[in-house]
Amino acid sequence: MSKPVVDAAAWMERFGMLPPPGGTILCAVSGGRDSVCLLDYLWRLGQERGFSVAAAHLNHGMRPTAQRDEELVRRLCRQRDIPFYTEKVDVYALCDAWRLTVEETGRRARYEFLRRTAASIGAAFIATAHHREDQAETVLLQLLRGTGPQGLAGIPPVREGIIRPLLDTPRAAIDAYIAAHDLPYVTDETNLDTHYARNRLRLEIMPQLLTINPSAPAHICRTADILRAENDYLDAQAAALLPDTGTALPCHTLLSAPAALRPRMLRLLAERLPVGKKDFSAAHYRALETLAQTGGTLSLPGGAAAVCRQGTLTLTVPDASRPEETPLHPGDNRVGAWYIRLSDTFSPDALAVCPGAWSVRPWRREDGLTLPGSRGRRSLKRLLAERGVPPEQRDAVPVFCLAGQAAAVPGVGVDASAVPEQPGNTIYIQLF
């Protein structure tokens, strides 16, 4: 047998990527050169080290050759008696449902599939085929887009059960391994499309950098390793200043910390929210630091928000149980946490309104009321603020709608359009 030209065992040992004896690594295999190399390498290494490998392939169905790719991976696994798992997804339909780009949707779908499969078979790790040049390209792209030490640290060798055994392996070694073992692979046609920034960097810019220094990828990756270690240390220092749980932070704790740690503290706090942090930027962390000094509220990506009151900065997300607009019927209604009575019987704490198609929902930023005697329509946000309702409590305020339009709010009043024209033609809405 030819001597392997890829040797990632030491790298895997360094970062704890080897499963215990009898364990399993689930290998993500697209059918391309890199993932085919990784699958074959892990299969051979597993025979030496006493672990097994399984393969997972997500068929996006986005290219005419997608079925070809799946069949190639299936044949490779059959020849080696490797368990093979696959699914098909409609990426374009998911784009609409998730409101993400095609690229982001494909990535999310792939990792959700990998994690489901790994959990179902009890795999210790999920392995992806990122290699040294992938790492160098990632660092350069992050630099071009603007980033800090975390971004310049590049792709982590291990994160949340995902391992990258080939991250220290140059592309040339993968090519040599493929040739030495006569392995078949497919080429994704989109890899040649220079409309994508990464492809343009790989095909046009990296070759120019190699003419300046043939070791450029290795040096870029070495820099990423240094920054990753320093970044991990600073993150640990920042984490030590945060409360053990929750998304509330005393402002004096934040503002008395070294300036270099404050954005990290805020980033780590934001990571506790059940929303993605992908859209959080340095500008958001600067705004949060300013908020801790001035007080007030701030809208954040993913529907999150920040509130600074009485010396505490709190990050929040919309209540998952927040009800949609719900029709009200005569009698008692329960909508979410609200108990609402709609009747024709007077009650001193009820809202007197005209009959009609009434419904209830949480407030919206565009809501407003024209209160009787006022000079015109005013935003509900301003009206609630004037009545002392803090932003973090506004979602708990029911907005009663007439024919779909905000028309009455407890503690605020009734819109002029919903005031009964005649005393006998009145119904009453009451919270109880």
User: Quick one: average pLDDT of 286-301?
Assistant: 89
Decide if pLDDT at 422 tops 90: no
What pLDDT is stored for residue 289 in this prediction?
95
Distance between terminal CA atoms of the chain?
80
Per-residue pLDDT reduced to its tens digit, 9-43: 999 999 999 999 999 999 999 999 999 999 999 99
Decide if pLDDT at 3 tops 60: no
What pLDDT is stored for residue 365 in this prediction?
78
Residue 131's contacts (CB-CB under 8 Å, 6 or more residues apart) are: 34, 166, 167, 169, 170, 171, 174
Angle at 45 between CA 52 and CA 219, to 5 degrees: 125
Per-residue pLDDT reduced to its tens digit, 213-244: 999 999 999 999 999 999 999 999 999 999 99
C-beta of residue 224 within 8 angstroms of C-beta of residue 153: yes
C-beta of residue 411 within 8 angstroms of C-beta of residue 385: no
What pLDDT is stored for residue 328 in this prediction?
94
* Mean pLDDT across the chain: 90
Kindly report the pTM of this predicted structure: 0.69
What pLDDT is stored for residue 277 in this prediction?
64
Among residues of the chain, what percentage have pLDDT more than 70? 96
User: Quick one: average pLDDT of 125-149?
Assistant: 93
* pLDDT range class, residue 318, cuts 50, 70, 90: low
User: Quick one: average pLDDT of 41-60?
Assistant: 96
Per-residue pLDDT reduced to its tens digit, 362-421: 888 789 999 998 888 999 988 998 898 877 677 778 999 998 899 999 999 999 999 998
Q: In whole angstroms, what is the distance from residue 59 CA to residue 318 CA?
A: 34
Residue whose pair of structure tokens reads 């200043």 in the numeric block: 241
Among residues of the chain, what percentage have pLDDT more than 90? 67
User: Quick one: average pLDDT of 92-114?
Assistant: 82
Q: In whole angstroms, what is the distance from residue 202 CA to residue 134 CA?
A: 9
Q: In whole angstroms, what is the distance from residue 306 CA to residue 297 CA?
A: 5
Facing residues of 263 across strands?
A: none
Q: In whole angstroms, what is the distance from residue 270 CA to residue 287 CA?
A: 13
- Total length of the chain: 432
* pLDDT range class, residue 1, cuts 50, 70, 90: very low
Joined tokens for residue 278: 């992908």
Decide if pLDDT at 153 tops 90: yes
C-beta of residue 351 within 8 angstroms of C-beta of residue 389: no
User: Quick one: average pLDDT of 201-213?
Assistant: 94
Q: At what angle do helices 91-98 and 102-121 cross, to 10 degrees?
A: 100
Decide if pLDDT at 159 tops 60: yes
User: Between these two residues, 174 and 302, which has the higher pLDDT value?
Assistant: 174
